[in-house]
Amino acid sequence: MTPKLHRELTSLEGRLVDNSGDKEAKEEIFDRFYKDLEFGTGGLRGILGAGTNRMNIFTVRRATQGFADYINRYYSGRDKHPAVAIAYDSRNFSTRFALEAAGVLAANDIKVYLYPELMPTPALSFAVRYYDCAGGIMITASHNPANYNGYKVYNEEGCQVTQDAASEILRCIEKVDIFTGVKTLGEELESINESRFRDELHHEFICIIPPETTEAYMEAVKANRIGVECEDLEVVYTPLNGTGNKPVRRILAEIGVEKVHVVPEQENPDGNFPTCSYPNPEKE
């Protein structure tokens, strides 16, 4: 268990011991453990924290083990070896969850293509197709508040899984014991984490996506231009502290948009969203 999760549970336990009538502590413990975090077509999404009804390394590992079982069953008997692409956003613990997912997949003999830095969701879909993967995992909670994170599953076409596929994956997840039923790389995960993607990963099933793939993604985006001249456009843009700052500004520059005004308070990735508690671009 990570130190943060241990501190959370110890604090709740202490409140109950010190004051057995602490109604809020009882209700919080109940909410954390009364059910498993729900999995659907959007994957997992929930509040960060300790508990089976929270987003943490254990719920991420369990979901990934179920997804791995689903993929290995689907690819059983095929000549093609399955692979999964993984990307992640700027939210708190997104990088760690991506590493945990990579470790579980690799432990299940599934090749992993892992982005070396945070990327937008379309880049995950691109990687799934580019590497002819069996599926993809995007660590994101979209527009939810900062105390949330999520885990989206994509199919071999780079699209979110259908309801039928989600139901099959859920059945696989439900068969996995959250503590004893998950295959991991063990201590090797720490070496992945410490490398911070700068050193070569010493595991045959984990491949860090090279810059050439990101370049191919950028070119694919630009290829969808509709021929409109952009030189006279003036753009105000905010990444909302998410993943868009680098790719969006690069694309705009390369298609000739020179007048780009970025909201400085929301320019850099920040999982706490300090100036935007609900990072939904559709919200007024």
pTM: 0.89
Choice among 11, 142, 167, 195 that is catalytic: 142
Least confident of 39-48, 86-95, 194-203, 229-238: 194-203
- Look up 277 and say whether it is catalytic: no
Q: Which amino acid is at 215?
A: E
Provide the residue ranges of all domains of the chain, joining segments of one domain with +: 1-34, 37-210, 225-284
pLDDT tens digits for 229-272? 777 889 999 999 999 999 999 999 998 898 999 999 999 999 99
The better pLDDT of the pair 145, 231 is held by: 145
pLDDT tens digits for 46-66? 999 999 999 999 999 999 999
Angle (CA) 129 69 210, round 5°: 35
Q: Please state, in angstroms and rounded to a whole number, the distance separating the CA atoms of residues 167 and 171.
A: 6
Question: Please, are residues 262 and 244 in contact by the beta-carbon 8 Å criterion?
Answer: no
Angle (CA) 249 256 215, round 5°: 55
Q: Which helix (H) or strand (E) holds 247?
A: helix 245-254
Flag whether pLDDT at 6 surpasses 80: no
The stretch 183-187 carries a mean pLDDT of 80
Nearest residue to 57 (alpha-carbon basis) of 147, 179, 141, 145? 179
CATH 3.40.120.10 assigned to 37-210: yes
